[in-house]
Structure 1
């Protein structure tokens, strides 16, 4: 036992230079990664990229969770391998068929070759369950491979999310010249456009979206929205119309509001939600691992779940634009000036635009899980592993995974960035950090001043007048110094306009 199990050596008989060298490499890599994350965070803070900095913090949380999982597997490894069960229980729900028993002892030989790759498993642990005429619940090698899979899954998910936001953001930034063009031409055309009367169906935004009336038109609208997501999903007329509708609803006092900048900041703010792995996503991992049963082809069919969801999300986002066009066309015959749409939560599923974000999060994670599992099996067990299944099941899975990543990056994510601004609320990303601090401070001071006058018997009439200028907005933002994710626009009060004015640069 002093030298460990057969073919293994304990630390007691390992040269110190080997121990020191291995520790140096492991600690060195860990420190390099830690410093890289730290300097990336400092750079993002310097560039005032708070949403991306918070996303980086999410990545650090995931790494900490992985470290804790690793610690648990290491500490409880010996205890787990000593959990014994009846051999008959291990013959059900297998991802691969059990090898046929033979007198040559091939099964025993295969088991022995697996144990030679264990990190630490002594002969006493190997004989613990057989001495009780039972088998191990899980071997150390299986625990080690599971540990690697969890790490690979987290890394692939973060990588895929970052790639989606990078390429999606690049697509959105191509719209910047539209914003610049609109701002440059607005002064020269504003007076003329107000005097011009145009038939509603002559507007470019209506031409490409309005398909008539009735049930047939509604069905055609969904079909049109489905195919529209694959080509020219957003045109300049779409951008101009939705931008105008957002400004007239949330920033009427500032027609030069930089809608493109706000949209980018809102997307970055949402990114920190997508990059994390929530508890319910881990629950899906457990369910899919449970259903990976030989003959069920679970991972082949599972590859189509995120694909179908992504198509449904893209179709819904395109259909929201179609509904905006239909509402204007059905209520007006001719329009004086520019065409203006009215944002509303009613266009979205269950009147909640944020559901779209959750679905995109789920799609990204499911696709990451599928691709991570594929590469993990390939590297760990080989391409000819029984878990890989037949080549006719592998190729469609990989192709679908690539299509999902490309479609989500170049179509669905840009659509989400602009169409979800057509809800009834605007997001806290509309505020700069310094502006948010000023608003919170103003609200707190006004509240304290009003309370002091109330105690002194004053009417507080002047403060009430000042407070009405910011309305419900400041009450929500100023409460306990925090801002809500989404803020309802105020009607009558000028809080929405002033907050947007501060951002429109």
Structure 2
């Protein structure tokens, strides 16, 4: 291309563009970027001032995603010239297509015709690409693996997916948190009874099988009781998933096991802090979620209707998680009903990791994370196709496949927000260990500092007693620090200083 001929379909290059145009465009772009950065900054300050930690954490995740997307954009811009020059044989590019090639385009080795309206757009882009990748590959009797237009569409899709996932995760946790806040009056009612000295000192005997928690959750003994319990757990997640008797029984079981010295422990406040900590995990897009994106995009072949069948994966997983969480509550009731007919005092359940899959309560959070991402992926993919290619695009599929996908997506979002997430927040506390969020942030820092001092002091004492190295003492107290981090503080013989022990309001 000649020096003055950098014009035509692509227009003039930067060498032949007026400097005032370059400076003006750069100024506008920088001004918009700085304005967006300031908006995010002041929004974060406002959320911190209002003590809206979940929304603040979501904002931080949005910043991380924007930074990642900016890097992706940079990589696509820098390497797009090389990417479009990666060539393949025309026969290879005719297989595993999301849209079928017409007879004419198949014989010519062209791009599939998405719609008549976009044919002129394809021709313009083809003319622009002819000077780069297409011309390079045509000389080898091959075609580009990825066109400039396809790169542009892929970039937009990744951006839409990240934003939709973060937005949906925020909505889920905000609505779930609103549901959990409705339990606060239960906590206040229980605290009021605890402060009533006459009620506390009055001798109390509980008929286990007449207790509301047992009557609603215990389905008797025998072969059919297990099946009935699972069926009841499945349907229970759709209506009144958590009742006051459930909350009261699980709260008392948690406090009796982990906070026996503090019966007035504010369990509701602890639930909210634990949910805020878990929110950091739910809102992020982990590397293994990108593997799922790769698998889905690979299997999105015309005629397979992958976009339809894959919508059932988060749907089935969500029902399984909700059923399991409800069944854990039923198991706790079943254990008490099997062992006792009448007990002195209040009915107390026994938390244990044995009730969870593979004895790991954290698996439930992983599944919820995957469910929210996959549901966001489904809906983001739908809106991206609608805006980018139109509702009638062959990638969109037939209406009978589209409507169920949208209905399932909305159902998953509502059920996860108002039932599954609140269930998780409560039932996940029924594990063997409590979480470090049982302490306020400043208390957590104090506990870890205390653990380090205890480790050093024990090591010195052991060295003075044995005259040997401190390796043994360091190993012992290293486990103490790990236990502090994992929330197993209450099981250590050593006791932290009184100023950093959990208070009534913690």
Report if TM-score (shorter chain) is over 0.5: yes
Give the deviation of 1:28 after TM superposition. 2.6
Structure 1 residues 100, 478: closer, same or farther in 2, change over 3 A? same
Residue in 1 aligned with 2:382? 374
1:498–1:331 CA distance, 2 compared to 1 (3 A): farther
Which residue in the other structure is 1:490 paired with?
Answer: 491
Cα 1:207–1:275 change in 2 (3 A) is same
- Within the alignment, does 1:392 sit opposite 2:388 as a pair? no
How far off is 1:72 after superposition?
A: 1.2
Work out whether 1:410 is the aligned partner of 2:418.
yes
CA–CA distance in 1 between the matches of 2:198 and 2:77?
69
Separation in 2, partners of 1:200, 1:174: 28
1:329 CA drift (Å) = 0.6
Cα distance in 2 for partners of 1:122, 1:318 equals: 61
How many angstroms apart in 2 are the aligned matches of 1:323 and 1:432? 31
Rounded Cα–Cα distance in structure 1 between residues aligned with 2:319 and 2:444: 37
- Counterpart CA distance in 1 for 2:395 and 2:83 is 24
Q: Is residue 266–residue 504 contact of structure 2 (8 Å, CA) maintained in 1?
A: yes
* Number of the residue aligned with 1:501: 502
| Count of aligned pairs | 491
Change (3 A) 1:118 1:456: farther
Secondary structure of 2:491's match? coil
Deviations 1:327-354 (A, max 9, x none): 1111100122211111100111111010
Matched, 1:67 2:70: yes
Shift of 1:65: 1.8
Cα drift, residue 55 of structure 1: 5.0
Unaligned runs of 5+ in 2: 468-472
How far is 1:172 from its partner?
A: 0.5
Superposed CA deviations along residues 357-400 of structure 1, whole A, max 9, x for unmatched, are 00000000000110000000000000000011100100110111
Partner of 1:463: none
Of the three residues 78, 81, 90, the one matched with 1:78 is: 81
1:242-391 pair list within 5 angstroms? 242-391=250-399
More deviation, 320-329/18-27? 18-27
Work out the CA distance in 1 between the residues paired with 2:108 and 2:120.
Answer: 11
Contact map agreement 2:446 2:500 (CA 8 A) in 1: no
Alignment of 1:167-186 (within 5 A): 167-186=175-194
Which segment is superposed worse, 423-432 or 284-293? 423-432
**Aligned equivalents of 2:276, 2:188: Cα separation in 1:** 21
SS of the equivalent of 2:240 reads coil
Q: Identify the match of residue 26 of structure 2 among 23, 39, 45.
A: 23
SS at match of 1:425: coil
Q: How do residues 71-110 of structure 1 correspond to structure 2 at under 5 angstroms?
A: 71-101=74-104
Contact 1:4 1:122 in 2 (8 A): no
> Which residue of structure 2 lines up, in the alignment, with residue 446 of structure 1?
454
Shift of 1:112: 6.3
Flag the 1:297–1:453 CA change in 2: closer, same or farther, 3 A. Answer: closer
Q: What's the Cα RMSD here?
A: 3.1
> In the alignment, is the contact (CA less than 8 A) between 2:299 and 2:306 conserved in 1?
yes
TM-score (normalised: structure 2): 0.89
Whether the aligned pair in 2 keeps the contact of 1:95 and 1:294 (CA below 8 Å) is yes
The CA distance in 2 between the partners of 1:224 and 1:186, in whole Å, is: 32
Structure 1 403/499 Cα, relative in aligned 2: closer, same or farther at 3 Å? farther
2:107 & 2:93 partners in 1: Cα distance?
22
Asked if the contact 1:55–1:273 (Cα under 8 Å) also holds between the matched residues in 2, the reply is no
- Which TM-score applies when normalising by structure 1? 0.89
Residue 499 of structure 1: how far off its partner (Å): 6.3
User: What is residue 237 of structure 1 aligned with on the other side?
Assistant: 245
**Aligned partner of 2:445 among 437, 440, 454:** 437
Q: Which moved more, 1:343-352 or 1:6-15?
A: 6-15
The 1:475–1:264 alpha-carbon spacing in structure 2 relative to 1, beyond 3 Å, is farther
**Residues 56/426 of structure 1: CA separation in 2 closer, same or farther (3 Å cut):** farther
Alpha-carbon distance change, 12 to 337 in structure 1, aligned in 2, over 3 angstroms: same
Deviation at 1:12, TM superposition (A): 3.6
CA–CA distance in 1 between the matches of 2:275 and 2:30?
Answer: 36
How big is the shift at 1:31? 1.9
Distance 1:24 1:66, change over 3 A: same
Q: Partner residue of 2:162?
A: 154
Q: Which runs of 5+ in 1 are unaligned?
A: 460-466
1:111-137 Cα offsets, whole Å, 9 max, x none, are 763252589746244322112211111
Q: Per the alignment, in what secondary structure is the counterpart of residue 198 of structure 1? A: strand
The alpha-carbon distance between structure 1 residues 98 and 255, as it changes in their structure 2 partners (threshold 3 A), is same
